[in-house]
Structure 1
Amino acid sequence: MASFGDLIKSETPVLVDFYADWCGPCKMMAPYLEEVAEKMKGKVRVIKVDVDKNQAASSKYRVQSIPTLILFQKGEIKWRQAGVVDPNTIMSHINQLSK
């Protein structure tokens, strides 16, 4: 299995959802992320990172509140947002990368 560092270095944008199972707003994000993954298949890879199980990644990217979405491309942060974000906002940021 590829490491987190390898995953985010991809040419294809990678949307990382930093979440926790006990987080109410994180649960609200789940169907939004499924919609983004489905509508943008091949344009983005969506991965979920449980902050309780992956504290190293959470602290490296200074995740202070959850959910936090970070969009990576070639290892660089291209967009970041904390809180619940609607699917259209997420997709517009992904589309900007593929221009």
Structure 2
Amino acid sequence: MSKVVDIRKFRVTRDERTHRPGECAHRHIKLDRHGGIVTCGNCGAALSAFWALEMLSEQYASALANIARLDQRLTQANDLIAALSAALDDRQTIQKSTLMSDVPTLD
């Protein structure tokens, strides 16, 4: 019976977590480079490295989408400023020409 493992070699430890699932979003990740452990800096929960990588990649994708949206709004604002500036220049040109035509000439 070599496939039988003596249960006395195992120890069971109780879950001593200070947090409860759903109470913390785990947004403050701490990495232990020596032990390869990922923990939450807020509640101390041990996190799956895959979960942490997935969460960070989702945050990165969200940040890139936000940058793209802001870049589009900046382009629209620049186009609007250019159009308003051109309209103001046209208006000032019309006003100057109107004022010049009203001035009597010495003929």
Structure of greater relative contact order (alpha carbons < 8 Å, 6+ residues apart): 1
Q: Say which one has the larger Rg.
A: 2
Q: Same fold (TM over 0.5)?
A: no
State the TM-score bracket (shorter-chain normalisation): under 0.3
Query: More strand by proportion, 1 or 2?
Result: 1
TM-score by structure 2 length? 0.18
